[in-house]
Structure 1
């Protein structure tokens, strides 16, 4: 089994975990799938140039910000933060299952997963 396959399986399990948690906390599944592609709005930077596009895309496609939302949720119990975080994480996991990852500044199709 290759490293890429291991990462795809790992991200598949994490996607299922986020979907399960979304359902467990009582959020409507309709919203999960409605907003699942919303983080792709970060591709708008590519309209300017690949370097800026990669920077903006990578801001929206790393786990730092959705995990920060979870840490903010814990003391505040603001359920909207948890719902946003779960959908955001799920989007990242789906991207990585499909072989999309963090972008290099040369071209949209050059990702960190391709180097595995």
Structure 2
């Protein structure tokens, strides 16, 4: 089942590549921005509950889709880019076994526990 889910995430990441290609940005922008959602880890400096909330907000695909939609509706390419980046990073993250965080621990995700070697 895990491999099937990883293939699904790969398909979503490929969709992000297609969406980004429709935007009027150079590809270096994509590579420069793709890891930005991980800055949300700073919420863990407060506590695990705040950390999980902030992290999940910036890794949630529905929020990313809403931002993409708002960008299209408002004809705002920067907003669209932000949504594409969040959606792409979330898919990439889940391909590697990292999921949305539970409040008790950074390593406890909706995909299961993250092991020490980075695999779930």
Q: TM-score, normalised by structure 2?
A: 0.86
1:17 maps to what in 2? 15
More helix by share: 1
- Write the distance in 1 (CA, Å) between the matches of 2:11 and 2:35: 19
Using the TM superposition, give the Cα deviation of residue 71 of structure 1 relative to its aligned residue in structure 2, in angstroms. Answer: 2.0
- Write the distance in 2 (CA, Å) between the matches of 1:73 and 1:59: 18
1:73 maps to what in 2? 71
- Give the gaps of 5 or more residues in structure 1: none
Aligned residue for 1:77, secondary structure, equals: coil
More strand by share: 2
- Write the distance in 2 (CA, Å) between the matches of 1:59 and 1:85: 12
Deviates more, 1:28-37 or 1:73-82: 73-82
CA RMSD of aligned residues (A): 1.6
- Write the distance in 2 (CA, Å) between the matches of 1:101 and 1:75: 29
Q: Is the 8 A contact 2:69 2:80 kept in 1?
A: no
Using the TM superposition, give the Cα deviation of residue 35 of structure 1 relative to its aligned residue in structure 2, in angstroms. Answer: 0.5
Using the TM superposition, give the Cα deviation of residue 18 of structure 1 relative to its aligned residue in structure 2, in angstroms. Answer: 0.4
1:49 maps to what in 2? 47
Give the count of matched residue pairs. 114
Q: TM-score, normalised by structure 1?
A: 0.89
